[in-house]
Amino acid sequence: MRAAFTEDQLTLAEAVRTALQAECNAEALRRAWTETHDFWPLLAEQGVLALSAPESLGGMGMGALDWVNVAVEAGKVALPAPLGEHLAIVELLAEAGHGELVEAMTTGEARVSAAFAGDAEKTYAVNHGRGEAVVVLGPAQATLVRQPVYTTQATADQSLQLASVDGDGESLDGDAARAFDRAVLANAAQLLGVAETILDLAVEYAKARRQFGKPIGSFQAVQHHLVDALLKRRFAAPVVHRAAHSLDTDDPRRSVHVSMAKIYAAEAAELACRKSLQVHGAIGYTFEYDLHLYMKRAWALSAAWGSVAWHRDRVAATVLGDSHG
C-alpha cells in the first residue's frame, strides 16, 4: 500500500501543467470564443495524445494513474478541447481493430470525440465537432459514428463547442464499459482541476479585497465559506485517484469507484463555484472578470458524462442492492 503517485507520474503532470499554463490562460480562452484557437497540436507535441494508446500503435500504453493528473491539469486551465474523451476511447478503438485511426489520433491528425449515451434523447459531443468520428458511449455499449452529422450547439461556456450527433454507427467490439468508466474518470479529474482554480481565485481575492478596513478574508464567514469549499475539494481528490487505480487494476468495484469520483469531484466543483462567487461578490458576476470562464466549465463538466444523481443511482445499485431511478 502506497497511496501516492510515482515520481514519473508527478513529473509528467508537471510538464503538462507548465505547457498548459503558458498557452491556455484566460486570455486564450477568450480568444477561443471567436477564433479557432486550437490546442490539439500542442497536446500532440507534448505527447499527451499518445499517453493512453497502446505501444504497438505508437502510443505510450499508459494507464489511468498515469494520465489522471494530466486531466486534472486540463481542468485547471479549462482546456477547451475534448482531451478526456480522447484519452478514454483510444484503447477501446484499438481493441476494436481501428489501429490506423488510433495511430492518426495519437499524432493529432485524426480527431475523434465521444458522446455520452445516457437517458436523454440526444447525445452531445464536446468540441471539435468537425472531427471525423464520434464514439457514442454508454455504461454498457459503444458505437462508432464514422461520418457524423453535427448540429452545432452553442453553450454558456463559449470556449466549449458542443454538437449534437446524428449518423449511423457501428458497434465497437471492445470493452465499452471500461472505456465509459475512463471517460467518467477523465471528466471527474477535470472537475477536480477546475475546482482548484475557482477556489484559488477566491482565496487570492479575499486576501486583496478590503471592506470595513480589513481584507475580507479576515472575516470568519468568508474564511468558513472557503474552508468548506477546500474541504470538499481535498476529500474528492483521493476518491478520484482511487478510481484511476481501480481502472488500472480492474477492481471488481471499478464502476462504483468511478461513479464516486464523479460525484465527489462534481460536488466539489459546484460548491467551489457557489462559494467563490459569493466571496467575490459583484465582480465575480461580471463578464470581464475571469471567474465565469471557469465556473461555466465546471457546470458543463458536471452535466456531462452522467449527472451526480445518475451516478448516485449507479453506486446505490451495487452497494445498497437496490434499483432506484
Partner 1 sequence: MDLTYTESEQAFREECRAWLEAHVPRTPLASHNTREGFAQHVAWEHELFDAGWAVVSWPKRFGGREATLIEWLIFEEEYYRAGAPARVTQNGIFLLGPTLFECGSEEQLERILRPMARADFLWAQAWSEPNSGSDLASVRSTARRVEGGWRLSGNKTWCSRGSFSDGIYGLFRTDPDSQRHRGLTYFMIHLDQPGITLRGVDDLDGEEAFAEVFLDDVFVPDADVIGEVNQGWRVAMATTSSERGLSLRSPGRFQATADRLLTLYAERGRPERLRDRVLQSWMDAEAYSLYTYQTVTRMREGGHIGADSSLNKIFWSEMDIATHETAMALLGESAWLAPDAPDATEGWLHDFLFSLAGPIYAGTNEIQRNIVAQRVLELPR
Report in angstroms how near the CB of residue 212 gets to a second copy at its nearest. Answer: 12
Report in angstroms how near the CB of residue 5 gets to partner 1 at its nearest. Answer: 5
- Binding footprint of a second copy, residue count (CB under 8 A): 4
Report in angstroms how near the CB of residue 119 gets to a second copy at its nearest. Answer: 17
Report in angstroms how near the CB of residue 325 gets to partner 1 at its nearest. Answer: 5
Grid cell listed for 126: 464536446
Whichever of 54 and 118 has its CB closer to partner 1, that residue is 118
Query: What DSSP designation does 169 have?
Result: E
Grid cell listed for 25: 490562460
Whichever of 147 and 323 has its CB closer to a second copy, that residue is 323
Q: Is 175 exposed, middle or buried (0-12, 13-18, 19+ CB in 10 A)?
A: middle
Partner interacting with residue 140 (select from a second copy, partner 1, none; CB below 5-8 Å by kind): none
Chosen residue from 7, 147, 212, 250 binding partner 1 by CB under 8 A: 212
* Binding status of residue 303 toward partner 1 by CB under 8 A: yes
Q: Is 268 exposed, middle or buried (0-12, 13-18, 19+ CB in 10 A)?
A: buried
* Binding status of residue 234 toward partner 1 by CB under 8 A: yes
Chosen residue from 5, 33, 219, 289 binding a second copy by CB under 8 A: 219
The distance of Cα 79 from the centroid of its chain, to the nearest Å, equals: 9
Binders of partner 1 in range 60-99 (CB under 8 A): 65
Look at residues 193, 219, 217, 196 and name the one whose alpha carbon lies nearest to residue 205: 217
Partner interacting with residue 101 (select from partner 1, a second copy, none; CB below 5-8 Å by kind): none
Residue 126: partners with Cβ closer than 8 Å, 6 or more residues away:
82, 85, 113, 115, 160, 161, 162, 304
Q: Is the dihedral of CA 47, 169, 300, 111 positive or negative?
A: positive
* Binding status of residue 140 toward partner 1 by CB under 8 A: no
Binders of partner 1 in range 254-273 (CB under 8 A): 260, 263-264
Whichever of 97 and 325 has its CB closer to a second copy, that residue is 325
Residue 73: partners with Cβ closer than 8 Å, 6 or more residues away:
13, 16, 17, 20, 193
Question: What does the angle CA 46 – CA 61 – CA 304 come to, to the nearest 5 degrees?
Answer: 75
β-strand partners of 277:
none
Report in angstroms how near the CB of residue 146 gets to a second copy at its nearest. Answer: 42
Contacting residues toward a second copy, per CB under 8 A: 219-221, 224
